[in-house]
Amino acid sequence: MQNDNIISSETLLAAVDLGSNSFRLEIGRYEKGQIQRVDYLKETVRQGGDLDEERNLKPEAIERGLKCLARFGETLKGFPSHHVRAVATQTLREAKNRDEFLKLAKKALGFDVEVISGVEEARLIYQGVSRLLPQSDERRLVIDIGGRSTEFILGQHLNAQTTDSTRVGSVAWSLKYFADGQLTERNLQRAEIAAESFLDAVAPIYQRSQWDVAYGASGTVGAVAEILGYAGFDANKITREGLAWLRGQLIKAKTADRLDLIGLKEDRKSVIGGGLSILIGIFDLLKLDTLIVAKGALRHGVLYDLMDDESDAPEDLCDASISRLTTRFGVNKKHAHNVEKVALGFYDALRPSLQFSDSHSVELNRYELSKSRQILGWAALCHEVGASISHSELHKHGAYILDNTELMGFSQSELHSLSLLVLGHCGKLKKLEVDFDDDRFIIKLLALRLAVIFCHSRNMPVLKNIKLERADNIFMLSLPSAWQQSFPQTCYLLEEEILAWQKTNWSLVVSTPN
């Protein structure tokens, strides 16, 4: 029997990129440490231009996206879930109704869609670019102008060292400065100055002294390079001379619909003004003379990330991100690890009570349970990140930090799962806006709350002869007979915990044998 977890020359991996301008599907085969393209699909969906005044995706944008994903889903039928990763970027980071779309997107595509943070997007872009470049010691600057965001990355070898994601993109800028389609000197100048002003805050980090070679990836850079290549410029790099020529062509055409440039695709006409303005602004701001056109992109980074996951890469990016976060907020790591160990012990005791989904393979169910266990462990390590702001409200501040931070390796949905567990690790349960019928979440929550109680003295508790079991919606905690006399504060806290669960559709029963 073939083991789907082993990467071989027959293994197909797939990346789906839900960008603000286009949706892309890249399928690759692993060969000798590299991903070789097998198939590539791209559709212009342009969701980034269809957020309403309330920052909700309009119905027509949702429909276009779902139809595209359904077509991608047909191509991906038969792929194991752990060989596919679908990521969404700035438009869905902004969209208030993204959860509605994501639910429908999963049904259309057949796989979960992650809304990744700007930092994670930048990391994956760098992964894609660096993997397709010759390996050297050069310090690299990578720039990617997308539909609603622009990413800047400094890195060396395969490691992204500094990342920023800014809310400047070709679709957003075109809607703001070229909404009427007029490509005038005045409109271009306004858009360029605005881009420089917006990006000025990050510019000092990416000055010439910090890198040896500057690369441009995907999106606007690719579109501009293709036009310049047909016009007789070097297609492998963008220069000031080339940008000045293209700018002149836009002004000469006067309107977007009159642009007639070889290499300019029809779907790019309406956003080329915004994209070019941002690119010129970056050249001026960072004093660039040349931008090398990179072949790698976000979707390639996703594929290599999948390959690394399957190859048991030695460094766990998520663990490293959590470690940096807890260090930054001065968390007592000894206590946090104690809570983690106890919480995972309680979770393992209850895990057999979780039912496998009939619609998933046994391997996938086990993978999801393993991921769920990881989320609990990270939440335990982070449960006191808010204490540096206010000890009495640490759970609220901790939840806010996790919902509003950007950690490499994490999707926004994963960070929100951590946030909910941190918010719920103490205090009342009804404050949580969660589905209390979701036993996978409830078991994690109970395990974390009990761990915090048993570790309240900030020492590792002795858990010998303590049993935790479940019968339907009732959790049963059995303590040794001498426990109440030896640990009266813990027993008091457990009595409070019993009352907390009584206000939900779950019960906690604590018993002590006679």
Q: Please give the full DSSP string across 257-316, using - where no structure is assigned.
A: GG---TT--GGGGGGHHHHHHHHHHHHHHHT-SEEEEES--HHHHHHHHHHHHHTT-SS-
Q: Does an H or E element contain 30, and which?
A: strand 22-31
Judge whether 422 and 382 are in contact, CB under 8 Å. Answer: yes
Average pLDDT score over residue span 139-167? 95
Edge to edge, what strands does the sheet with 34-44 contain? 34-44, 22-31, 12-18, 84-88, 113-115
- Rounded-to-integer distance, Cα 53 and Cα 50, Å: 10
Q: What is the Cα Rg of the chain in Å?
A: 26
Judge whether 131 and 307 are in contact, CB under 8 Å. Answer: no
Poorest-pLDDT segment among 106-120, 274-288, 301-315, 371-385 = 301-315
How many CB atoms lie under 10 A from the CB of residue 113?
25
Comparison of pLDDT for 480 and 113, the residue scoring more? 113
pLDDT grade, residue 391 (50/70/90)? confident
The pLDDT value recorded for residue 314 is 39
Taking each helix axis from N to C end, the angle separating 439-454 and 333-350, rounded to the nearest 10 degrees, works out to 130
Instruction: Answer yes or no: is pLDDT of 494 > 60.
Output: yes
The pLDDT value recorded for residue 1 is 32
pLDDT tens digit sequence for 43-81: 999 898 888 999 999 999 999 999 999 999 999 999 999
The pLDDT value recorded for residue 124 is 96
pLDDT grade, residue 246 (50/70/90)? very high
How high is the mean pLDDT of the chain? 90
Token pair 């029809």 in the structure block, residue: 266
The pLDDT value recorded for residue 136 is 81
The pLDDT value recorded for residue 360 is 45
pLDDT tens digit sequence for 261-311: 999 999 899 999 999 999 999 999 999 999 999 989 999 999 998 886 554
Instruction: Answer yes or no: is pLDDT of 405 > 90.
Output: no
3-state secondary structure (DSSP) of residue 161: strand
Comparison of pLDDT for 359 and 242, the residue scoring more? 242
- Rounded-to-integer distance, Cα 234 and Cα 283, Å: 17
pLDDT grade, residue 367 (50/70/90)? low
pLDDT tens digit sequence for 16-45: 999 998 999 999 987 766 788 899 999 999
The pLDDT value recorded for residue 359 is 46
- Percent of the chain with pLDDT strictly greater than 70: 93
| Closest by CA position to 24, among listed 43, 46, 39 | 43
Judge whether 376 and 343 are in contact, CB under 8 Å. Answer: yes
Judge whether 506 and 442 are in contact, CB under 8 Å. Answer: yes
Contacts of residue 513, Cβ cutoff 8 Å, sequence gap at least 6: 478, 480, 481
Judge whether 139 and 316 are in contact, CB under 8 Å. Answer: no
Instruction: Answer yes or no: is pLDDT of 173 > 50.
Output: yes
The pLDDT value recorded for residue 313 is 41
Instruction: Answer yes or no: is pLDDT of 210 > 60.
Output: yes
The pLDDT value recorded for residue 276 is 98
Separation in Å, CA 284 to CA 72, 227, 277, 281, 352 = 39, 21, 11, 5, 60
Instruction: Answer yes or no: is pLDDT of 91 > 50.
Output: yes
